[in-house]
Structure 1
Amino acid sequence: MSHNKKILIICGDFVEDYELMVPFQALQAMGYTVDAICPDKKAGDQIKTAIHDFEGDQTYSEKPGHNFTLNASFADIDPASYDALLIPGGRAPEYLRMNSQVLEMVDHFVSSDKPIAAICHGAQLLAPTGALEGKHVSAYPACAAEVTLAGGKYADIAVTDAITDGKLVTAPAWPAHPAWLAQFHALLTV
């Protein structure tokens, strides 16, 4: 099964393990070509991930995750050759949004009206691009203020749910993978 569509994942150190690993593998299993990149790294380099668990504390706990091997080189990427963008959460979006090259890549997907899937803290990478303006957006609850300040309407949904507004699919955290990935897949097959 091949959908002949290419998906770009922008990630970085301490990205949430499940929010990178699961979509990276699941979307390939669905027949998509998926490239994962990180600024200043090339194919074959590794990034560290973190596992965020919900254990009854006031916020998530963080544990070391797997090392993830990138399969594409950041410097070689032409966003125009991709059909969609996926942004995993964790701590990576908070510093990736300070990289002008990353923001230019993200802006390409926004201005070209291509499908974008963001989960958890992924909204932090979308906020500076204008992508959230007027959209119903879910994210980790700690990002609600950023969604609102970026002109979005924060969607306070169950941790297992996702929401689609136009070509933007968002979810609060990795327990939403079934809903989030199904909604993203639906956008990709239109």
Structure 2
Amino acid sequence: MSNQRPDIPVHLRRRPTSAGLVVPVATPRTADGQPLFGLLENFRQRHLLTRRLCQICGQPLGERLIVFARPADLLLHCTSEPALCPPCAAYSIRACPMLSGRLEHYRRQTRSGVAGIAADTGSELRADAPADAWCAVWLRDYDVVTHPVRDQVLAASWLRHPPLTIRPIPAR
């Protein structure tokens, strides 16, 4: 797969970028302003989930929204990843190295403890593991719950909100 960066959608052109990629609202930064792609800061994650805002553009979610889910998330019917609006989800599938299949493994070293990120982000368990197969779960709504296996972490649950569809993100 090519390393070429996808075009940035019009609605995201005012967002900051790094290495040609839009920096999502949910992405924390180091003290010197470098984005920490792939991580979530606890306050931002909670804010986006509870206010029902898109994790990329920060705008209110509409009547259809998408959460990206790993196989374990599908079994639990929830994810700690905030939802996305459909245009941002389409961009993310093309732009994110993990979702697009450009990365075959998670990072070897975790970056927990930087920029106010809680140590229990789940990234420690995935260090250097093969990349998960992701799915896009299309929903009309979700409940904000405490994650069933990650103490004190909020999650978007679709247990009471049947998905409109669950689509595998193209195979690696």
TM range (shorter): under 0.3
Under a length normalisation based on structure 2, what TM-score does the superposition of the two structures give? 0.25
Structure with greater helix share of residues: 1
Under a length normalisation based on structure 1, what TM-score does the superposition of the two structures give? 0.24
Structure with greater strand share of residues: 1
